[in-house]
Amino acid sequence: MKQPQETVLLTYTEIDSPIGSLVLVASPQGLCKVEFGTYEQNREQRERWAERWYGAFELNENAEQLAPVAEQLTQYFKRERESFEGDLDLQGTEFQKRVWLALQTIPYGETASYKHIAEAIGSPKAVRAVGGANNQNPIPVIIPCHRIIGAGGDLVGYGGGLPTKVHLLDLEQRTLFS
């Protein structure tokens, strides 16, 4: 007989930022999702994502619990912080997690290519797969997928849109075109 699944309590808050509304979601293990847009705009996608990775879940608003993350993001947007602290609960395949961990090694204000990340994780031929994992990053900004550029230095797609990517790179005082 199959055991009933324990319900995972997820908490969220919505914050305003210079790149628009962001929804922060945390599990008991740590921050698990940052979404561009409002809570309502992303409701269906968020519920599918949570069901896929957590099974039975309950989602409750809790700004106080997520206040440290919100404060770090505020500091980042004011150029008062270059890196983030706190526990992350990464939900993805093992390959995706390797890519996301590699993204966190790209220094503030610098960029890397998909090829660079593929080589860094020991899969030099997996450039396209790295791009797919980058696209599925559940914690953008904090896991800096915006720092990925094309091999030729071109700006490539971004979940928050290219204007958001440009804003984040400019925020980090990156010279986009040398």
- Looking at the structure, do residues 112 and 141 belong to the same domain, yes or no? yes
**Quick one: 134 and 105 in the same domain?**
yes
- The pLDDT, as a whole number, for residue 54 is 96
What pLDDT is attached to residue 5?
Answer: 72
pLDDT at 177: 44
Q: Quick one: pLDDT at residue 9?
A: 96
Domain co-membership, 122 together with 160 = yes
Do 104 and 52 share a domain, yes or no? Answer: no
| Burial (0-12, 13-18, 19+ Cβ within 10 Å), 76 | buried
Could you tell me if 128 and 156 lie in one domain? yes
Query: What CATH number did the domain enclosing 141 receive?
Result: 1.10.10.10
112 and 48 belong to one structural domain:
no
Q: Are residues 73 and 99 in the same domain?
A: no
Give the pLDDT confidence score for residue 176 in this predicted structure: 44
Q: Residues 46, 73: one domain?
A: yes
Please identify, among 49, 78, 107, the residue that sits at the C-terminal boundary of a domain: 78
Does one domain contain both 25 and 66?
yes
Look up 145 and say whether it is catalytic.
yes
User: What pLDDT was estimated at residue 150?
Assistant: 83
Environment class of 31 (CB within 10 Å of its CB; exposed 0-12, middle 13-18, buried 19+): buried
In a domain? residue 104: yes
Q: Nearest-CA neighbor of 145 among 25, 20, 36?
A: 36
In a domain, 88, yes or no: no
Q: What's the domain count of the chain?
A: 2
145, 148, 169, 171: the catalytic one is 145
pLDDT at 175: 45
Domain boundary among 19, 52, 78: 78
Q: Which helix (H) or strand (E) holds 164?
A: helix 162-171
Which strands form 57-61's sheet, in the order they lie side by side?
30-36, 22-27, 8-15, 57-61
Instruction: Give 10-residue mean pLDDT values along the chain (178 residues).
Output: 76 97 97 97 95 96 97 95 95 96 94 93 93 94 93 79 90 61
Co-location of 164 and 100 in the same domain: yes
Q: Which domain holds residue 52?
A: 8-78
